[in-house]
């Protein structure tokens, strides 16, 4: 059990985040796809901040 101010080990990953296989497009919660055994990526977009300093550059890149 962890003490109050003790940090968690880095081996603990966020298991509640939905992930997507880039090869077969199947959704899973695991690091590897259960169907084709390929690596998965996060299916969630990056966090949005209204104070983003670089938003102008990202939008210009997207719509250029």
Task: Give the model confidence (pLDDT) of 11-44 as tens digits.
Answer: 555 557 899 999 999 999 999 999 999 999 988 8
DSSP 11: T
Q: Is the pTM of this model over 0.75?
A: no
Strand-pairing partners, residue 32, are 39
Beta strands in the chain, from DSSP E residues, in sequence order: 19-21, 27-28, 40-42
Task: Domain ranges for the chain, please list them.
Answer: 8-44
State the Cα angle at 24 between 22 and 29, rounded to 5°: 70
């Amino acid at each position: 059990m962890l003490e109050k101010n003790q940090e968690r080990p880095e081996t603990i990953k966020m298991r509640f985040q939905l992930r997507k296989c880039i090869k077969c497009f199947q959704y899973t919660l695991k690091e590897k796809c259960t169907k084709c055994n390929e690596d998965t990526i996060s299916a969630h977009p990056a966090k949005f901040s209204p104070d983003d300093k670089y938003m102008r550059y990202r939008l210009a890149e997207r719509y250029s």
